[in-house]
Amino acid sequence: MYTISDVAKILGITAHTLRYYEKEEIIAPIRNANGERIYDETNLAWLRFVMRLKQTHMPIVQIREYAHLYLQGDHTNQARLNLLEEHRNSVQNQINNLTATEKILGDKIAAYKNSVAKGTGIG
């Protein structure tokens, strides 16, 4: 079991972010007798997944929708599948754009290296 500060430290996020996720109904930690949030390994695994979704620019509204669908049970599997497939398409578009940008940057860097080696200018 982990406290909010433990989880924040483990995941490299702030306690404020964890409270925000709770407010947005993305996570529901249990509370101890003193009302303090307690997290378990299942919470950590879920939060790691949420962080991956955020890193790939999934909007909070969609993460919340996925969380709500999950809590409703297996009859929402198709809706969850659709949501994740749609997001995977978005991630693939991001990868394609980054790959194209990386190539352009590589070409530009190579041109500058060539220019520096020759002592000439480049546009």
Query: What CATH number labels 4-118?
Result: 1.10.1660.10
Find the distance separating the first CA and the last CA of the chain, reported in whole Å: 58
Segment (H or E) for 30: strand 30-31
Beta bridge partners of 2: 39
**Phi, psi dihedral angles at 2 (to 5 degrees):** -130, 150
Compute the average pLDDT of residues 25-46: 92
- pTM of the predicted model as reported, rounded to 2 decimal places: 0.77
Q: What is the mean pLDDT of the chain?
A: 94
Residue 122 banded pLDDT, cuts 50, 70, 90: low
Nearest to 62 by CA among 40, 38, 48, 82: 82
Percentage of residues of the chain with pLDDT beyond 70: 98
Cα torsion for 100, 101, 104, 107, to the nearest 10°? -100
Per-residue pLDDT of 59-103, as tens digits, reads 999 999 999 999 999 999 999 999 999 999 999 999 999 999 999
